[in-house]
Amino acid sequence: MDLAQARKASELLLRHWRDGTTLDALPLALRPETRAQGYLIQAQMESLSPQPLFGWKIAATSLAGQRHIAVDGPLAGRLLAEMVHRDGAALTFGANHMRVAEAEFAFRMAHDLPPRDEPYGQDEVLSAVAKLHLAIEVPDSRYTDFTLVGAPQLIADNACGHQFVLGTEAPDSWRGLDLAAHRVTGRVGERLEREGVGGNVLGDPRIALTWLANELSQHGMTLARNQVVTTGTCVVPLEITAGDRVSVDYGALGHMTMRLA
Q: What is the pLDDT of residue 126?
A: 98
Q: What is the pLDDT of residues 73-110, one digit of tens each?
A: 999 999 999 999 999 999 999 999 999 999 999 999 99
User: Above 90 in pLDDT, residue 65?
Assistant: no
Q: Phi then psi for 62, rounded to 5 degrees?
A: -125, 155
Mean pLDDT for the stretch of residues 11-27: 97
User: Could you report the per-residue pLDDT of 114-166, keeping only the tens digit for each?
Assistant: 999 999 999 999 999 999 999 999 999 999 999 999 999 999 999 999 999 99
CA geometry: angle 28, 217, 179, nearest 5 deg: 105
Cβ contact 199:180 at 8 Å: yes
Tell me the C-alpha distance between 238 and 232, whole Å: 13
Q: What would the DSSP string read from start to end of 125-193?
A: HHHTEEEEEEEEEE---SBTTTTSS-HHHHHHTGGG--EEEEEEEPPGGGGGS-TTT-EEEEEETTTEE
The pLDDT of 25-47, averaged and rounded, is: 97
| pLDDT at residue 63, rounded to an integer | 83
Report helix, strand or coil for 51. coil
Q: Where are the domains of the chain?
A: 51-260
Q: Is residue 68 over pLDDT 90?
A: no
Q: What is the pLDDT of residues 210-249, one digit of tens each?
A: 999 999 999 999 999 999 999 999 999 999 999 999 999 9
Class of CATH domain 51-260 = alpha beta
Cα–Cα distance measured from residue 123 to residue 202, given in angstroms and rounded to the nearest whole number = 16
pLDDT at 78: 98
Higher pLDDT, 68 or 180: 180
Provide the pLDDT for residue 87. Answer: 98
Answering whether pTM is above 0.85, one says yes
Looking only at the bridges linking them, the beta strands covering 228-233 and 55-59 are: parallel
pLDDT at 222: 98
Q: What is the pLDDT of residue 62?
A: 87
pLDDT of residue 204: 98
- In this prediction, residue 141 carries a pLDDT of 97
**Does the CA dihedral 142-45-41-115 come out positive or negative?**
negative
Per-residue pLDDT, 52: 95
Q: What is the mean pLDDT of residues 19-26?
A: 97
